[in-house]
Structure 1
Amino acid sequence: MDISFQEVQLSSLTPPQLKMLHDQLDQEIEVLTSSMQSLKGAQNQFNESKQSLKTICPKNVGKDILVPLTGSLYVPGQLADADSVLVDIGTGYYAEKTLTDADEFFKRKIDYLKQQMDKLQPAVQQKFQSRQVVYEMLQAKVMAHAKQQSKK
């Protein structure tokens, strides 16, 4: 199926059509912004995990720690091994990694998420600009219509 888009002159649209276009752009901006926030949240989690690796060292073996069971439930424990960690690699799977491998894993994930956000940012900016142009055209049409009505 071949979908082609055709450029539309905004000046040829009626105020209701411009309003619909403005609302559509608002929805697209909301979806893109939500996606950006999700990516940023994931990036923050990977950053926190990467930073947490710094506390795992031989001098801390045997020290008391809190072990997360869920996002809000922790149990007391002791650090037994300073050489490897279990890393959540997604969809409920965990992999045992050395501290260096875990650090590299988190760095790759952080970099990947940054690349995705960098790709998304221009689209968000373009949608904001388009929405502003549509809004200005809508305002101009409404003002012109009001001016015509006042002359009658």
Structure 2
Amino acid sequence: MSSNKSSDEPQQIDLTKLNLPQLQQLKMEFESELSVFQESLQTLVKCKGKYSASKEALEQIKPDWENKEILVPLTGSMYIPGVVKSIDNFIIEIGTGYYIEKDLSDSKDYFKRKIDYVQEQIEKIDKIQVQKSRVLGAVQEVIEIKVVAMQQAAIKQTA
């Protein structure tokens, strides 16, 4: 039997055995990773907000809206007049210029699934971010300990 660890398992490093430049490099790498995770979280939260807004808009549709005049948003602040031709026929953008046609129920379900999926991704990234933050904290502690030890050694040499 082999006792080799799977390549999926994270590698454990004894931080106290690393020298100061190695620890500082490790610290920079974790700070960089945390920055990327934070940007990803912000993007996912915005995405979830857009899906939620779309689902909420669908929830507002009433059966008596057929042939009703409405304002159609072109941008966040610009609208044009339009007429609702069918309350059970929607064209939904699914990304990168692709659209699908769905009825009201399927449209609501689509956005609900998207919201749930994005929330799962937010939770996964948040969990990883917490773990990376803990390791970064440990690296910073070891750096501080080594700096203090170096200062004390320098004081002893000069005395």
TM-score scaled by structure 2?
0.85
Structure 2 unaligned blocks of 5 or more: 1-6
Which piece of structure 1 moves more, 65-74 or 33-42? 65-74
Of 40, 47, 50, the residue aligned with 1:42 is: 47
Structure 1 unaligned blocks of 5 or more: none
| 2:46 pairs with 1:77 | no
> What is aligned with 1:117?
122
> What is aligned with 1:55?
60
For 1:1-152, list aligned pairs within 5 A. 6-70=11-75, 73-152=78-157
Give the drift of 1:78: 2.1
- Separation in 2, partners of 1:96, 1:6: 48
Taking every aligned residue pair, what percent have the same amino acid on both sides?
38
Task: Give the structure, 1 or 2, with the largest relative contact order (CA under 8 Å, sep 6 or more).
Answer: 1
Give the drift of 1:6: 4.9
Give the drift of 1:114: 1.4
- Separation in 1, partners of 2:153, 2:91: 71
RMSD of aligned Cα (Å): 2.1
- Separation in 1, partners of 2:80, 2:106: 26
